């Protein structure tokens, strides 16, 4: 049986483009009717594939009645669009998980999802092992630390803002040591993962985060440690950066694609 799923993607940057192209190329009984929501004047609007609808405002998206809206745009877009979609009864997949570091927005999203009997879905994104972390965090005394270590290319503007020349940085620079809430809000395009870990685990304030810009690495490296009464988890994930955006790991778009397939699949991992 051929099933068509109607999905709207917000944003057509490094993640959105790959997601749309992968879903269009799906070679199975599952097919997608796709739309992209781009802000007017957006640079990539000419490169939309012919079969993909384009909307320049959220009302157009809502009138099209998607089964799922996928955010691949940034934390501000979560704030602008998630509560509206959810209260209209449309499930909303969140890539920019750092938006949920704001307790006020997190509560607003929960209220909207309940009132629309819909759901906000959170991608694993650049990392994994969230299932283990969630289970371990149910036991009191579980501790979580996270280190993000990315090449200088992911941190050029931020280093300049600190008065450092990115091209002359030849030692690792510790940009941040603190909690997940601050990390995800201070670095909205690099530290969404900190908020994802906090949400799945022991919370924003108790998730310890270190951020390093390292001229000695050429991959986005994520080291997660979970220690507690249930045992110890130590993972090191070494991601190739996206070719279009060095801050974003290439795997993230595939995490979104996977989450979309999972959403419509009769069998689901939990």
Ligand X SMILES: O=C([O-])CC(=O)C(=O)O
Ligand Y SMILES: NC(=O)C1=CN([C@@H]2O[C@H](COP(=O)(O)OP(=O)(O)OC[C@H]3O[C@@H](n4cnc5c(N)ncnc54)[C@H](O)[C@@H]3O)[C@@H](O)[C@H]2O)C=CC1
220 belongs to the binding site for ligand X (CB under 6 A): yes
175 belongs to the binding site for ligand X (CB under 6 A): no
124 belongs to the binding site for ligand X (CB under 6 A): no
Q: Name which of 87 and 96 has its Cβ closer to ligand X.
A: 96
78 belongs to the binding site for ligand X (CB under 6 A): no
Least CB distance to ligand Y at residue 248 (A) = 3
5 is catalytic: no
> Could you please report the per-residue DSSP string of the chain?
--EEEEEEEE--SHHHHHHHHHHHT--SSEEEEEEEE--TT-TTGGG--TTSEEESSHHHHHHH--SEEEE-S-HHHHHHHHHHHHHTT--EEES-GGGGGSHHHHHHHHHHHHHTT--EEE--TT---HHHHHHHTTSTT-EEEEEEEE-GGGSHHHHHHTT--GGG--S-EEEEEEEHHHHHHH-TTT-HHHHHHHHHTT-TTTEEEEEEE-TT-SSEEEEEEEEETTEEEEEEEEEPBPSS-TTSBTHHHHHHHHHHHHHH-SS---
123 belongs to the binding site for ligand Y (CB under 6 A): yes
73 belongs to the binding site for ligand Y (CB under 6 A): yes
3 belongs to the binding site for ligand Y (CB under 6 A): no
16 belongs to the binding site for ligand Y (CB under 6 A): yes
**CA-to-CA separations, 90 to 52, 82, 87, 121, in angstroms, rounded:** 19, 9, 7, 11
Q: Which of 7, 8, 9, 10 forms a contact with ligand Y (CB under 6 A)?
A: 10
Least CB distance to ligand X at residue 178 (A) = 15
62 belongs to the binding site for ligand Y (CB under 6 A): no
User: Binds 26, which of ligand Y, ligand X, none (CB < 5 to 8 A, cut-off by type)?
Assistant: none
Number of residues that bind ligand X (CB under 6 A): 12
Q: Which of 87, 96, 148, 221 forms a contact with ligand Y (CB under 6 A)?
A: 96
77 annotated ligand-binding residue: no
Least CB distance to ligand Y at residue 15 (A) = 3
Give the active site residues.
222
- Contacting residues toward ligand X, per CB under 6 A: 126, 189-193, 220, 239, 247-249, 252
């Amino acid at each position: 049986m051929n099933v068509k799923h109607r999905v709207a993607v917000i944003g057509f940057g490094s993640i959105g483009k790959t997601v749309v192209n992968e879903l269009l190329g799906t070679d199975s009984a599952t097919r997608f009717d796709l739309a992209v929501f781009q802000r007017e004047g957006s640079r990539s609007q000419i490169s939309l594939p012919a079969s993909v609808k384009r909307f320049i405002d959220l009302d157009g998206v809502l009138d099209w009645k998607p089964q799922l809206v996928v955010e691949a745009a940034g934390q501000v877009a979560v704030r602008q669009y998630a509560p509206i979609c959810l209260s209209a009864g449309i499930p909303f997949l969140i890539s920019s998980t750092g938006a949920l570091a704001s307790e006020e927005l997190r509560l607003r999203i929960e209220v909207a999802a309940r009132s629309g009997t819909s759901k906000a879905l959170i991608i694993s994104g650049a990392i994994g092992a969230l299932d283990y972390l969630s289970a371990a965090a149910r036991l009191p005394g579980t501790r979580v630390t996270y280190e993000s270590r990315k090449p200088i290319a992911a941190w050029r503007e931020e280093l300049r803002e600190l008065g450092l020349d990115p091209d002359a940085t030849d030692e690792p620079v510790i940009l941040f040591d603190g909690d997940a809430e601050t990390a995800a809000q201070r670095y909205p395009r690099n530290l969404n993962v900190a908020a994802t870990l906090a949400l799945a685990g022991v919370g924003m304030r108790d998730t310890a985060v270190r951020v390093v810009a390292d001229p000695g690495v050429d991959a986005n490296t994520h080291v997660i440690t979970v220690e507690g009464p249930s045992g110890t988890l130590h993972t090191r994930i070494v991601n190739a950066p996206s070719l279009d955006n060095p801050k974003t790991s290439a795997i993230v778009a595939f995490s979104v694609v996977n989450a979309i397939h999972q959403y419509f699949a009769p069998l689901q991992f939990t």
